[in-house]
Amino acid sequence: MSAPARNTQACALVVDDERDIRELLVLTLGRMGLKCDTASSLHDARALLRHNTYALCLTDMRLTDGSGLDLVREISQLYPQTPVAMITAFGNQEAAVGALKAGAFDFVSKPVDLSVLRGLVQHALKLGLEASAGGASRLADAAGPAMARLLGSSMAMADLRTTLAKVARSQAPIYIAGESGVGKELVARTIHDEGMRAAGPFVPVNCGAIPAELMESEFFGHKKGSFTGAHADKPGLFQAAEGGTLFLDEVAELPLPMQVKLLRAIQEKSVRPVGANGEVPVDVRILSATHKNLAALVEDGRFRHDLYYRINVIELRVPPLRDRREDVAQLTDAILARLANAQHRAKPVLHADALEALARYNFPGNVRELENILERAFALADDDGIRAADLRLPEMRPSAPAQAAAAAMDPSRIDPRESATSALPNFIEEIERKAIEQALTDNRYNKTRAAAQLGITFRALRYKLKKLGID
Ligand SMILES: Nc1ncnc2c1ncn2[C@@H]1O[C@H](COP(=O)(O)OP(=O)(O)OP(=O)(O)O)[C@@H](O)[C@H]1O
């Protein structure tokens, strides 16, 4: 245990049983203007923590007298003003995730990449400043105001909020899984707003909505004259998210060649604009989401496994609304209040039969569908309030979202003899048209969301709209 050197300079605690690593860390942190205390065991680290306040703690995972994870837990609970990061063995994603879940704000893998370490230390110091500026309790349980937007009293949502509070502090990439309309983007925004990048931009990008040929330029930017139509230098989405968060929505839609380039940008923390000679460094946290089963796509070879592991350090799963029906009443109340407020009208009464109907309904389109149902009912409601019939719930069997649109226009209910012609191709086109029109209506003509509901890519939807002549 090194003798503590006390003065006003910020001090870090380095815990590792390998002397070489301790020396390397002390040297690097010293160059960044930090004093260091060192400990080679849990026992020594605990003793130092009892008597000193640290701006940062870096601990190894495996220590001679126990696990660094225990130290991470203790520091998060007893010294919440001290951000703690874990040093993990290379490629040990499990340990990294364990550390983040135990309350570490970040991790760094061995062999330690010094530029990564420096970035981590800078973030830790920012966190410490936040805490000393009055946000210590925020570091302790991090339930900030943004979290309040994520409604739901179910156990599932309470668990999700607890995990969010922890992961918001870290820099780890997070993959958000869940059906369409379940709240994945809201979760991503909450992580951003609750974390230390909140002052930076939150840039959501729908990966399925960018034409393949423009993708590289959209993500990384381009130089003037690099291709026909490039009239001026243009920064890409990475540059737009500098200092903040890039949210890759529908990440499963990325074409394979783009996946390679994205992986490189994330690993190197730099991008090369189309037509540029050099790289531009970027400081961006990556969050991603899809309603598809990404692990299955990896197995099928349609999503690169290396990118999957890179973006999926922590996976959050947002459960479908039908699995947390107890949230429906609170969500309904909040949505009606918001609608009433926006239209300067009184909040309508929701009669018991309407609430019962909502409680029974399966919500294949999840919270977004609940919003659409209530918006429609609110528009039609008179002073008497909203009754079950006003909700116009489709008669649906319990079904997954991709089946939902199809179920709404169940082919068995369409009589080929009643369609324009009984020829099979036209009959099928008719079904397709109805499914697409229904999905567009359900999603307020948002094509991206309609495509997601239909379980097809944005490009496929665009093609079909053109083919069917739907405006
Ligand atoms: N827990 C929640 N509390 C309050 N509003 C919610 C909640 N979950 C979702 N919403 C609202 O429901 C709508 C759909 O949510 P969001 O866009 O985040 O879903 P999504 O899962 O990203 O959808 P998609 O897969 O189609 O992109 C938004 O208006 C969002 O604000």
Tell me: the pLDDT tens digits for 72-99?
999 988 888 888 999 987 666 677 777 8
This model of the complex carries an ipTM of 0.99
Let me know whether 305 and 380 are in one domain: no
Let me know whether 180 and 309 are in one domain: yes
Q: What atom of ligand 1 comes closest to residue 178's alpha carbon?
A: 21
pLDDT tens-digit map of 205-219: 999 889 888 899 999
What three-state secondary structure class fits 126? helix
Question: 386: which strand partners?
Answer: 350
Let me know whether 132 and 190 are in one domain: no
Q: Is residue 4 part of a domain?
A: no
Res 181: pLDDT: 92
Higher pLDDT, 379 or 89: 379
pLDDT exceeds cutoff 90 at 383? no
pLDDT exceeds cutoff 70 at 459? yes
Let me know whether 296 and 238 are in one domain: yes
pLDDT exceeds cutoff 70 at 8? no
CATH number at residue 387: 1.10.8.60
Pocket (CB within 6 angstroms of ligand 1): 150-152, 178, 180-186, 249, 291, 331, 367-368, 371, 449, 452
Q: Is the omega angle on the peptide bond into residue 401 within 30 degrees of 0, that is, cis?
A: no
Q: Is residue 6 part of a domain?
A: no
Of 200-204, 254-258, 309-313, 411-415, the range with the lowest mean pLDDT is: 411-415
Let me know whether 260 and 337 are in one domain: no
Residue with tokens 């969301």, as numbered in its chain: 449
Task: Tell me how many degrees the CA angle 169-171-174 measures, rounded to the nearest 5.
Answer: 95
The residue whose CA is least distant from atom 31 of ligand 1 is 186
Res 397: pLDDT: 37
Q: What atom of ligand 1 comes closest to residue 453's alpha carbon?
A: 26
Residue 182 alpha carbon to ligand 1 centre in Å: 5
pLDDT tens-digit map of 25-34: 999 999 999 9
pLDDT exceeds cutoff 50 at 396? no
CATH number at residue 117: 3.40.50.2300
Phi and psi, residue 87, nearest 5° = -100, 120
pLDDT exceeds cutoff 50 at 407? no
Q: Is residue 264 part of a domain?
A: yes
CATH number at residue 257: 3.40.50.300
**How far apart are the C-alpha atoms of 338 and 342, rounded to whole Å?**
6
Q: Is residue 42 part of a domain?
A: yes
Q: What atom of ligand 1 comes closest to residue 206's alpha carbon?
A: 27
Dihedral sign for Cα atoms in the order 402, 407, 411, 412: positive
What's the whole-number average pLDDT of the chain? Answer: 84
Phi and psi, residue 245, nearest 5° = -130, 135
Residue 317 alpha carbon to ligand 1 centre in Å: 13
Res 56: pLDDT: 93
pLDDT exceeds cutoff 70 at 454? yes
Least Cα distance to 297 among 261, 264, 265, 250 occurs for: 250
Residue 68 alpha carbon to ligand 1 centre in Å: 37
Token duo for residue 310: 């890179």
pLDDT exceeds cutoff 60 at 406? no
Let me know whether 104 and 237 are in one domain: no
What three-state secondary structure class fits 440? helix
- Per-residue pLDDT, averaged over 11-23, amounts to 94
Question: What is the signed CA dihedral for 132, 135, 140, 145, rounded to 10 degrees?
Answer: -170
Domain end marker among 141, 171, 204: 141
Res 409: pLDDT: 44
Burial pattern 184-218, b for ≥16 Cβ within 10 A else e, equals bbbbbbbbbbbbbbbebebbbbbbbbbeeeebbbb
Q: Is residue 147 part of a domain?
A: no
pLDDT tens-digit map of 114-130: 887 888 888 788 766 55
Question: 15: which strand partners?
Answer: 39, 59
Res 91: pLDDT: 64
pLDDT exceeds cutoff 60 at 138? no
Let me know whether 334 and 456 are in one domain: yes
Alpha helices in 81-170 (DSSP H): 93-102, 114-130, 136-141, 155-169
Least Cα distance to 434 among 409, 407, 461, 413 occurs for: 409
Res 424: pLDDT: 56
Residue 162 alpha carbon to ligand 1 centre in Å: 18
Let me know whether 311 and 356 are in one domain: no
Domain that holds residue 361: 324-468
Of 27-36, 120-129, 137-146, 357-366, the range with the lowest mean pLDDT is: 137-146
**pTM (predicted TM-score):** 0.69
Q: Is residue 5 part of a domain?
A: no
Question: 13: which strand partners?
Answer: 37, 57
Cβ neighbours around 413 below 10 Å, total: 9
Let me know whether 182 and 85 are in one domain: no
Residue 122 alpha carbon to ligand 1 centre in Å: 33
Let me know whether 31 and 173 are in one domain: no
pLDDT exceeds cutoff 50 at 48? yes
pLDDT exceeds cutoff 70 at 287? yes
Domain end marker among 77, 112, 141: 141
The residue whose CA is least distant from atom 7 of ligand 1 is 183
| Number of domains making up the chain | 3
CB-based burial label for 449 (10 Å; 0-12, 13-18, 19+):
buried
- Per-residue pLDDT, averaged over 336-355, amounts to 90
Q: Is residue 27 part of a domain?
A: yes
Residue 180 alpha carbon to ligand 1 centre in Å: 8
Least Cα distance to 86 among 114, 56, 50, 44 occurs for: 56
Let me know whether 343 and 394 are in one domain: yes
Q: What atom of ligand 1 comes closest to residue 182's alpha carbon?
A: 21
Confidence of residue 5 (pLDDT cuts 50, 70, 90): very low
Residue 183 alpha carbon to ligand 1 centre in Å: 3
Please list, in sequence order, all residues whose beta carbon lies within 8 angstroms of the beta carbon of residue 24, skipping any fewer than 6 positions away: 112
Confidence of residue 463 (pLDDT cuts 50, 70, 90): confident
pLDDT exceeds cutoff 80 at 274? yes
Domain end marker among 319, 346, 367: 319
- Per-residue pLDDT, averaged over 222-229, amounts to 85
Let me know whether 245 and 287 are in one domain: yes
Residue 256 belongs to what H/E stretch? helix 256-268
Q: What atom of ligand 1 comes closest to residue 157's alpha carbon?
A: 1
Please list, in sequence order, all residues whose beta carbon lies within 8 angstroms of the beta carbon of residue 201, skipping any fewer than 6 positions away: 240, 241, 242, 243, 244, 245
Res 415: pLDDT: 46
